Structure 1
Amino acid sequence: MGPVVPDEDATARAVIDEHGILRQWDEGARLLLGHAPADVEGRPAAGLLAPGTVLTPPAPGEDRWSGTLGLLHRDGRTLSVPLLAHRGRPDRDGRRDWLVLSPPAGGARRPEDDFLTSAALIQSPCPTAVFDERLRLRAVNELMTEVIGLPEERVRGLRMSEIGGKPESVELEQQLYDVFTSGVRRDVETYLRTGGEQHAHAWLARVAPLTDAAGRVRGVCVTAHDFTDQYRARERLQLVNEASVRIGSTLDVTRTAQELADVCVPAFADFVSVDLLEPADSSGDPAPGPITAPVTLRRVAHQSVHPGSPEAVVKPGHVDVYPASSPQADSLLAGRTIVVPDETATLEEWLSWDRLRGERVAEYGIHASMSVPIQARGATLGVAVLSRSRRPDPFTPDDVLLAEEVTARAGVCIDNARRFSRERETALALQRSLLPRSLPRTAAVQAASRYLPAARAGVGGDWFDVIPLSGMRVAMVVGDVVGHGIQASATMGRLRTAVRTLADIDLAPEELLTHLDDLVVRLSAEAGSDGTTGEVGATCLYAVYDPVSRRCTVARAGHPPPVLLPPGGPPRHIAVPAGPPLGLGGMPFESAELDLPEGSVLTLYTDGLVESRERDLDASHRLLCQVLERYSGSLDETCHEILQTLLPPGGVSDDVALLLARTYELPSSQVVVWDVPADPSRVAPLRKRAVEQLDAWGLSEAGFTTELVVSELVTNAIRYGEHPIRLRLIHDDTTLICEVSDSSHTAPHLRRAKTFDEGGRGLLLVAQLTQRWGSRHTAEGKTIWAEISLLGE
């Protein structure tokens, strides 16, 4: 029901149930069609449709319908009736009826409606202006004249750019032109100071085309909405959020100070400088006691809306002395934020101590400045000076609170950086030497990684690696050594080296973990020989992926299981036998195999990613899966989003290693396999088939080397191996691989042939002609392989 107001006209109303039966028929409906309620209620509503009327049903899920239908009057006439239908909420029985309405006869346009239309423009609660086809002002209401600051007679006939006289006005006029020419309405946000205002306002200008009866655009209407409060609240929220994310990303003083300046420009100020007090000694801490003038400060960072920060008088890294009455010294001596201009001083008076600074202020139009002390844990570390030139409004009390909040966060981060700078540099240097600087590009996977040391405990023993294997396969490993500090880092380096060595001989994942377990047991024994406890523990996950078969074999030693994101499917944990942690000794490891569709994303990580005091392990795993569900194709962005979602902003209590790998499939067109007969005379035809296959692949330049390699490997397999024997050729854009497999478990080795020996030079020749070669054991025997580079020297 609507509000109770006097109304001589009656709206026609009817209720129709889901089966098309009329349930209610009011007086307005009777006046419209002449049927009494008793005549139509309980009967199909379709009986009121005129012959030939086609009813288009509402779309599935739609709760509103409108249209014009031919309806039968009681006297037999057909009336064309505009209808509007709303679907109601379910009643107790779950039934949802339709309420059908028809406007009263008085709904037609009346002469007095022209007055209402005109009054709506004049008395509109929003500033409104109308522009003609030449984009000249034709009419404004009273509120718009207040916004402009001029009476209508002085601006009527002018363009928007002529009325405002500012770059923002020119941009807004371009928006009016775009709407006029396209006929499509648009919303435009602008931040400017209008006629006679002391402070700039944020305006949402809603620009709409004005069309005549023929549909031609005859002008443009602009309705302005002042959303300054919402704009500033949004701006403050964005700035605080940016500060929480961007400031303190490293334990580096200079970087943290620069992050403070970068966050504030241009979102909050047009120029920001950050100066820190000179430390009293090598510890990096400022001198104790009260601050006295003059104050010696070192410029650590600055940022400007102008490239190169031309407003700056002092360069980063340089020291300057600030006397009393300077912005920096005033706020440091007072221990609070000072804003100029205010009721006590102008900007010119505040900068009178330095002629060059005064000239820069005048040159770049700086009209407001704010000096904020940088403090943390009761100590004053320095000062940040924020200035405005392009932004027309001065700093407000809310701005002061916001600046102090952002600066306080930066102060804590700078203090942390100073306290741990030496330890941090050592940790980072050790980290760079122990972890891979970049991940290799392979035909099997594309990978991205992140490593974060613990915020307090320093560098630890988490590591990750991607190791290319023979046959285009790739190994992925993530491990975690128990503890932190140099000892854990050294152990991590030894384990990573051991994994690479064991991977090079192509051990199966469960065998590799067994050997690694033996190594950790020996390391524990060695560490305990000096009388200390000497216990060494670690966890590890090792996976091998083959892009030809799309098979992935995974084994783990007490490590969190990987998460798989298949293409088009939800993420899930891979069921891999847990296995014991490394260092217990004598216990078996098991592996799991699974097929991976191309484009699958494997997520390998250490427990520091999911273990948190704020939530349980299951909640962390759910969060991880939720982030992976939003995967957009970028592994780097997904790594960043995972860390942002799962890790606290203040740093992690344990190391975090994260490795994402998206799998590729090597097309069958790039792989050929031939059975090799047990007949040495068939080697020559096989060489010919290999060369023909290279020609078909467009790799003819590798034909000579391939002939020699195929000949040597196949001949050796026939002479010394066991049948069945197979030759396989694989290639990608950079490498051609020749593999010969047989049923013998005896591996070949290089030997030095004597001068008159008839043989013994084959494998030496293979080693000289290829970029690398080797052998690997398989369940059926062994495979000898050689890689030929397809890249020019």
Structure 2
Amino acid sequence: MSPVHPPGEAATARAVIDENGILVHWNEDARRLLGYGPGEAEGRPAADLLVPGSPVPGPEPDGTRWSGTVELRHRDGRTLPLWLLAHHRPQEHGGAWLVVTPLGGLDRLLEDDRLLRTALACSPCALAVFDENLRLHACNEAMADLVGLPRERIRGLRLAEISGRPESEDLEGQAREVLETGRKRDAYTYRRSGGESLAHAWLARFAPLVDDHGRVCGVCVTAHDFTEQYLARERLQLVNEASVRIGTTLDVTRTAQELADVCVPALADFVSVDLLELPEEGARAGPSSVTAPVTLCRVAHQSVTPGCPEALVQPGRVGRYPASSPQASSLVAGRTMVATNIATTLTEWLEWDRARGRRVRELGVHSTMSVPIQARGGTFGVAVLRRFRRSDPFTSDDVLLAEEITARAAVCIDNARRFGRERETALALQRSLLPRSLPRTAALEAASRYLPAARAGVGGDWFDVIPLSGLRIAMVVGDVVGHGVQASATMGRLRTAVRTLADIDLAPEELLTHLDDLVTRMSQEVGLEGASGEVGATCLYAVYDPVLRRCTLARAGHPAPVMVPPGQAARQIELPGGPPLGLGGVPFESTEVDVPEGTVLGLYTDGLIENRERDIDTNHRLLCSTLAGSAAGPDSLDDTCDRILHTLLPPGGVPDDVALLLARTRGLPSAQVETWEVRADPALVATVRKQVVRQLDLWRLSEAVFTGELVVSELVTNAIRYGEPPVRLRLIHDDTTLICEVSDGSHTAPHLRRARTYDEGGRGLLLVAQLAQRWGSRHTTDGKVIWAELSVVSEAAADPGQWPP
């Protein structure tokens, strides 16, 4: 540590104390201050200079600096209270403390106004001093340049009088507050100062001026230009705002409008977003494939003026842009294009489009920037930003900011287009897999509705009505977990499986068990293929018998159905919940309920009652009340479906797919059903045939006598010969179908086979298959049933006035 002072260094008393507290250096100014020469002070403990008992302040928390007032002894015995400043300086062998204090000789320098005036004149910081009446007392050249007026002309004016701008009144109010309270204040403003063409960001610092008596006698104002920091912060904030505001939905138009909204007024006075019209679905134009003239569709625009009067093209309209236009030039080049002084730089385009040229001149548009909307190697359109109210042109920083915001929007637009294509594909697949129309049966009247999700991808909701043997009818509603094409494809596989399992007349709980095994295998297949996610679904399966007027239901994690018996209130059918399909290993249970004729059944997916508008319980009560009111009135089931959807679903679209199936049950009169007990005696087959002929004559089904007699004969003979007692025969008919059912106590299913030429038997079921429209068998708890359906037209149907007899 050199004891030599640099040339021109201010007079300072300086001493160096080592780690042991010994004075190792003592300069001449220290001698003048305390009277000890260097030879007397150096080598002595520094503590010898302290007045005994006087307090010594401790070092600062980091241990590198120390300051405070201490009492020192002068050589002549006087006590001198001095403010000392000590810095810890690390050395090669330990460390030392450098102790300094200013000498009174500086007072002479401060009294010299020349140095102060020179400092104020040359200071890059704009500075002004206002007196206690807030009138300008003095300012330096930097402040005069900032104001744009000569110093000698504005002296004595108030701050508001100097500026004349409305915001200067607020600044003067803050200066007055500093004058009254004696506390410093900072103020921020973004404005154009006198004589400047561009606005700057300024930090104005107000500090009170206090005299020797502690009275505030004026205010000192300094102005600091922090435009670069301000603009950087504004750009960062705008980029952050864009990341939040752009891409809130998977809708192309909404995303384009969000892009325009973010850029106005932060970046431009008017913004238009135009997208390319792609020649075919799924096409992706690249920068090199765009040629002029360019056909663009206006998707969105925004302006600082309400109503966007600057727009010549309205959203949804298509326009053609020549090579001289900013839109085409930017798209063809594949990069951002900036044009200033448009009246001269874009003359060709404005002459080609005279209406646009007149509008540009009327508004005073002076700067335009066209940014291509590009993402993932594709070009989707162009965003054009214009300035006419803001006087400053677009800068290179504005270009980078616009490209960053547009790039974010481009990704969102690409995502929205991809989602739109996938959604249309999934929706087309979904609708193709759902039933086009519901079958007309004697068991019930049915109506249905399917609504895809408004914003999320199409799900795998489905419904079906499946005719079964014995005029029974199966109703099914299901919901596949997930969305998109995969969910729709899974739904198609499950619906096909349900129809196949229903065709073999499985009980509801058995059908769900087989369906659960299928979903488990599908989930395993997905895992083997490396796809993410698992396959899962819920399902409700119900079988209604119009003869017994009973319904058997089972569900797998699906909402329970609602029923409205005639003249009664709507209620939920209580049945075991069951686990969702795909869990495996958990049995399902079924429930049987009596269903009077005219009962309305409501089956639905969870999208109908789960939304953000209301809770599930409230929606369920609304469903029951709406269903009950419509069932009691003259509304058809189609009208009831529409009323339920209108009442329960939010107006902005459903967040999840909705499937709704309504059915009004019908009962088959007992006069249209006849049952016989048949003893296991082949000789009684002829008697049974005679009974069938009499019954068909009684039902006026004479056209079906021969076929019906033959089919019954074969089925009864097989049951007696190969089955087990008890054997029963049941005939059921409606206006178009005669059903012959023969049941026995054996669980062995029949098999259709082709008899050889010389075989004496084996042709019974083949004959039944040739004569019947449909035939088959189903298992029951105590055996099986073999059935055959014959097509008939009764005499009563041909002449309604003759029926019933």
TM-score (norm 2): 0.48
Larger Rg: 2
